[in-house]
Structure 1
Amino acid sequence: MASILWASGNLCMSLAAFVFSLSTLFVKLTHNTVPTFQIVAFRSSLSFLACYVGAKHTGIRPFFGHLRNLKMLLLRGVFGAAAMTTYYLSISCLPLADAVTLFFLNPAVTAVAARLVMGEPLGWKGAAGVVISLGGLVLLSQPPFLMQAGAQAWDSLRVRGTVFGLVSALCAAGAFICIRKLGKAEPALVMSVYFHTCAFSTSAVPLAVGWPQRAVWPSLLDWLLLLGVAITSFWSVVYSYFFGVVLLGESISALGALGSVLVAAGVLLEVGKG
C-alpha cells in the first residue's frame, strides 16, 4: 500500500495538500482565543529551531548568510513576515476559503512585479492569468460599488479581511522577488532563517506591549492547534473550502466560488506560461 502511495505523484500531491492545508484550519480555530501575533511568534520560533537543527545537520555556514547579501535577505524576511501576519489576520476576518484564495493572488502579482523589476517576459499566458485572477478577485470580494444585487455584506470585518488578504498577496510577491534576485547566492535554509527571525521579531514586540491584544496562556487544545500550525506550515485552496463548509459552517456564494475558480485558473495559466 505504501509503495503504491509513494509511486503516485498525483496522490502524493493531493495528500500533501490535504495535510498542509490543515494549517489554515488550525489558525481559524485559534483566532478567537489566541492573538494572531502570538500564533505567528509560536510558529516562527519553532521553525527557527528547525532551521538551526537543519543547518547543524547539513553543515550550512554561515547560519545568517553572507554580509554582501544582507540587504536582500532582510527584505525577504520582512516581506515574508508581513505576508504571513496579514494572511493570518485575513483568516481571522474572512471565511476560510476566501482568505486562502486572496492569498493565492500572489503568483499573478509576482508575475507583474517580475516584469517591472527584473524585466522578465510575461507572455500571453501570464497576461491572461493576471487578468483572470483579477476577475476572480472582483467576484470573490464583491465590492458594492461594482456589484449591487446579490453582493455579500460589505461590513468593516470583510473590508479588513479583504485588505489584509491583498496585502498578504503583495508581500508574498515581494518575498518571491527577493528570493529570485538572491538566486543561488544563499541556501534556501538561510532565507528561511531570515523569514522566521523577522516574523518572530515583528510579532514579539506588539505582544510585549499588549497591542492589539496581550499574550495569553493557551488551553491544551490551543497548544495542540498551535503545534499543528507550526508543523503544517503550507496550505491549499481546495481543502480550505471543505473545512470552511463542513467544519465551520461557512457558506459559499455562487459568485464567490466562481471567483475562486478564476483565481485558480489564473494561477495555473501563470505557472504554465513557460
Structure 2
Amino acid sequence: MTSASISNSNLKGALCATVAAMCFSLNDVGIKFLSDTYALHQIVFYRSLIGILTFALIIMPISGGLKTMRTRLLHWHLARGLCVVAANSFLFLGLASLPIADAVAIFFVSPLVIAVFSVIFLGEHVGPRRWAAIAIGLLGVLIMVKPGTSAFQIAAILPAISAALYALMHIIARRIGGTESAGTMTFWILISFMTVSATVGLAIGDGRFASDAPEVLTFLLRAWAPLDPADIPIFVMLGTSGIIGGFLISQAYRIAEAAFAAPFEYVSMPMAVIWGVVVFGTFPGVSTWVGIALILGSGLAMIYLETRRRPAPRPDTKVYSNT
C-alpha cells in the first residue's frame, strides 16, 4: 500500500468518524432525555428494532444484500458485539447520572486508549510525543473525575470504563476490517444489542430489583414502562442515527489507522456542551472546562503529530501497512 493510499484511507476514515460522532451525539441526548421514564434495556431494545429496519432499508442494499450477514469470523463479531453492548451500557448509565458534557468528556479518553491499544494489539507506532499527548488527556480525565475528593462520584467511573471497552471494540474492527465489511460488522452489532436487551428485559424487566438498588443503577433496573406516543420520534431518531453512526464508525476503523481516526470523534464534545445548555439547562463547571481542554488538546495534538510523522516517499517508493 502506497503512502498516498494510506493518507487517502485515513482521510476517508476521518470523515466517517466525524459524521458518526454527530450521530452518536444525537443518541446521547436522546438516551439522557428518556432515562427518567424508561429502563435502559427497554430503550436499547426499541432502538435496535428501529435500527434493524433502517439497516434492511438503507445499509444492506449498499453493502451487498443478504451476503452482508455472512461471516467466517463469528467469534470476533460476537466479542466485538459484547464490547459495544457493555460500552454503551456503562456510558448510558453515566449519562443518566451526570451532566451530559461531563459524561461525554470523560468518555473521550477512548481515542487515547485506542492509541495505546493500537500499539499493544496492532503493532502501530506511537512515538514519545504522542505518549505525552495521551498522558495529558488522562490528566484531563482525572481532573474531571476528582478521585480521592469529596466531589468524586462513582458514576464518573462509568464513562471511563465505557471508553476502554469502546477502544477494544474498534481495535477488533481494525483487526478484522481487511476481510469483513462495515455492513457485516454493523449487522452483528445489531444482533448483539437485540439479544442482550431482550434477554435482560425478560430477566429483570419487571423492575423487582429497582427498589433496593443504588441510585446509579436505577436506570438499568427500572421496570419497562408503557410507550408514550410522544416519545416515538425520539426512538426513531435513536434507531436511525445509531445504526448510521455504527456503520460509519465501523467503516472508519476498518479503512483508517486507529490512532488517526479516533480523535475526529471529538466533534461530539462541543455538541455535548450545546445539548447540556440548550436541552438540559446545565453548564460545565471550571473543572469540566479544564478537563475538556486537556482531553481535546491532547487529541488535536495527536492529529497534528500523526500528519507530521510519516515523511513523503519518492514517487516510486511503496510504504506498506503494518496491519
Quickly name the TM-score band, shorter chain normalised: 0.7 to 0.9
Are 2:270 and 1:238 equivalent residues in the alignment?
Answer: yes
Look up the match of 1:34.
38
Deviations 1:135-192 (Å, cap 9, x if unpaired)?
A: 110111122x2xx5xx6x33xxx31x22220111011111101001002201101001
> Aligned match of 1:86 in 86, 90, 98?
90
Deviations 1:111-132 (Å, cap 9, x if unpaired)?
A: 1111112222111342122111
Look up the match of 2:290.
258
Distance 2:43 2:270 in 1: 23
Distance 1:19 1:82 in 2: 19
User: 4+ residue stretches of structure 1 with deviation over 4 A?
Assistant: 13-20
Shift in CA distance, 268/44, structure 1 to aligned 2, threshold 3 Å: farther
Are 2:143 and 1:139 equivalent residues in the alignment?
Answer: yes
Task: Could you tell me which runs of 5 or more consecutive residues in structure 1 were left unpaired when the two chains were aligned.
Answer: 1-12
Distance 1:66 1:202 in 2: 20
Look up the match of 2:222.
213
Greater Cα offset, 231-240 or 119-128:
231-240
Alignment length, in residue pairs?
251
Give 3-state SS (helix, strand or coil) of 1:21's partner: helix
Contact 2:94 2:159 in 1 (8 A): yes
> Aligned match of 1:25 in 26, 29, 50?
29
Q: How does 1:46-195 map to 2 (within 5 A)?
A: 46-53=50-57, 54-56=59-61, 58-67=63-72, 69-143=73-147, 145=148, 148=149, 153-154=151-152, 158-159=153-154, 161-195=155-189
Are 2:301 and 1:269 equivalent residues in the alignment?
Answer: yes
Contact 2:273 2:283 in 1 (8 A): no
Look up the match of 2:6.
none
Greater Cα offset, 15-24 or 199-208:
15-24
Matched residue type, 2:52: F
Contact 2:71 2:184 in 1 (8 A): no
Contact 1:107 1:270 in 2 (8 A): no
Shift in CA distance, 96/210, structure 1 to aligned 2, threshold 3 Å: same
Aligned CA RMSD, in angstroms, stands at: 2.4
* TM-score where L is the length of structure 2: 0.71
Deviations 1:12-52 (Å, cap 9, x if unpaired)?
A: x9998667633222111110001111111222222223223
Distance 2:66 2:138 in 1: 42
Shift in Å, 1:198: 0.6
Contact 2:137 2:298 in 1 (8 A): yes
Shift in Å, 1:203: 1.4
Deviations 1:209-262 (Å, cap 9, x if unpaired)?
A: 225222222212222222222233357110211221233122421111110111
Distance 2:302 2:31 in 1: 28
Distance 2:176 2:23 in 1: 30
Distance 1:18 1:197 in 2: 23
Matched residue type, 1:248: F
Give 3-state SS (helix, strand or coil) of 2:67's partner: coil
Contact 1:141 1:256 in 2 (8 A): no
Shift in CA distance, 270/43, structure 1 to aligned 2, threshold 3 Å: farther
Look up the match of 1:6.
none
Identity of aligned pairs, percent?
Answer: 25
Look up the match of 2:232.
223
Greater Cα offset, 172-181 or 242-251:
242-251
Give 3-state SS (helix, strand or coil) of 1:25's partner: helix
